[in-house]
Amino acid sequence: MTDQPQTVDGDQTVDGQEARPASRRRLLVVGLAVLLVAAVVAAVLTFRALSAEPAEAVPATVPVPVTVAHVPDRVAIGVVVTLGDGEGSEWNQAAQGAVVAQRRLALGGTRVQLVTQNDSGTTDGARAAVEELVRQHVAGIVVASSGAHVAAAAAAAADAGIPVVMPYAGAVDDAWSTAPSSQSVASAMQRALGGAASPLLVDLGGGAPAGLRVAHVLPAGDTDMTSLATTVAARTGAVPTSTPDGDTNTGGDAPAADSDAVVVSGSAARQGAFVAALQATDVTVPVVLTPDATSPAFGSALTAAGGSVSGDFRTAGVATDDATALDAGAAGRAMSAFLGAVRVVAKDQDARNLTGDQPFSAVAAAADARSHDAVIALVHAVGAARSTDPEAVTDALATTSLDVDDGLAGPALDFTDPQALGTGATVLASSAQALGLRPETTSAPALVWFEDTTGR
């Protein structure tokens, strides 16, 4: 009798040997299963690793809440601004970033009251503003102004044991500055001047940053901007074709050319008005502005005087403006979160500015990351102290270091040094191109400052 072929799972064997096709199929199925499990495990591990990374992708359209632990109820932070046209008034619109910080903290579960006082740009006004904030039991103060008078605010706050953060003023006794150091500003402005051998300083009231080398100084005094611009044009070898009034300039007794670059110092409003007059001349040498020009008031003054925001402007500072949101890294995501919050607050019909006399939407175009970060820093110190006692908050702030993971929109801050901003100033250039990152406004087009990488 002939043996019948044996089968295994429907496949035949030959001479009693196992069918190879069936064996191969089983090995293939097992192999695929192992690969599938490995892929799932790898995906899970990758997801966990990405989730653990600090400052991982923040969508530009989401106003990220800022969460600070251990903050007591009823925290009040003082904000000193300069209203009117006094010294430091150029920052009162930029200071509205404090309102954005208040909203982001609220989204994170921390309620903060902002108490605003006007210092009028004077020493007496600064002292009075701080004394009123002391009476209102604030835990810390943001002095959102600049100029000589802010030292009086810092001294009055120190007498009461209250910590002060200054986002727009350089280092003074008894306060923390989150503005770039004067040395780094001078170095950046020197780089912006390039190889100029004989710079002319046009002093509109601010003087030159310590360490900046200039060959000539032209005090503005009471000279009108048109005449001043004509003098500068002559001293830089240009012959202005007309004045802003439309009159032809004949040159007359113009001074001899002795300058190959121009430095302009003074308040943002005066710089804006002077640059408008300078645009009517044929000046082609480099023109470098002091950091006051990063104030929203510069662009407003420039357009109000008939100038164009499309000019080629250079100054010194750090990356705290809207253009940072275009970066691909953590700094870009942090700025995007801040700007997202600006848009949300602007849409809130009940949201008001710091002084309560305007809707926030009217000032949203100028709200600044620097004042925002000053408020965030003080609230972190309150949380670290677990107290609203000003002296406890002062001690806590003195040991605090923060970066974008803590809710900052700008560079890292280290309050173990009174010069809390460790990032040095770089050369900044301006653009009048709308980035579409803020609410639309009918006000004058805003300048956006970004780091200049052209090497000037």
Nearest partner of 398 among 176, 146, 204, 231, judged by Cα: 176
| Alpha carbon 142 to its chain's center | 15
**Across-strand partners of 118?**
81
In order of 19, 28, 37, 355, the CA distances from 24 in angstroms are: 9, 6, 20, 79
In the chain, % helix, strand, coil (3-state, to 5) comes to 40, 15, 50
pLDDT, residue 62, reads: 56
Task: Give strand ranges (E) for 119-163.
Answer: 140-143
* Dihedral angle, C-alpha 141, 147, 153, 159, nearest 10 °: 110
pLDDT along the chain (456 residues), means of 10: 38 36 40 39 34 42 84 96 95 97 97 98 98 98 97 98 97 96 95 94 88 93 92 86 49 73 95 94 91 93 90 90 90 94 95 96 94 98 98 98 96 97 94 81 71 73
pLDDT value of position 51 = 35
**Which ranges in 194-321 belong to alpha helices (H)?**
225-235, 268-278, 296-304
Residues 6 or more apart whose Cβ sits within 8 Å of residue 165: 140, 141, 142, 143, 175, 176, 177, 178, 374, 377, 378, 397, 420
pTM of the model: 0.83
Q: What are phi and psi of 265, to 5 degrees?
A: -125, 155
**Residue 412: both structure tokens together:** 């890292």
Beta bridge partners of 187: none
Closest CA to 340 of 152, 60, 50: 60
What distance in Å separates the CA atoms of residue 393 and residue 383, rounded to the nearest whole number? 8
Residues 6+ apart with CB under 8 A from 273: 225, 301, 302, 304, 305
Chain centroid, CA 219 distance in Å = 31
Compute the distance between CA of residue 321 and CA of residue 50 in angstroms, rounded to an integer.
28
- H or E element, residue 45: helix 20-52
Rounded distance, CA 368 to CA 446, Å? 12
Cα separation, 278 vs 248, whole angstroms: 15
What is the pLDDT at residue 434? 74
**DSSP for 145-190, written as a single string:** --STTHHHHHHHHHHTT--EEESSS---TTSEE-SPPHHHHHHHHH
pLDDT recorded at residue 22: 41
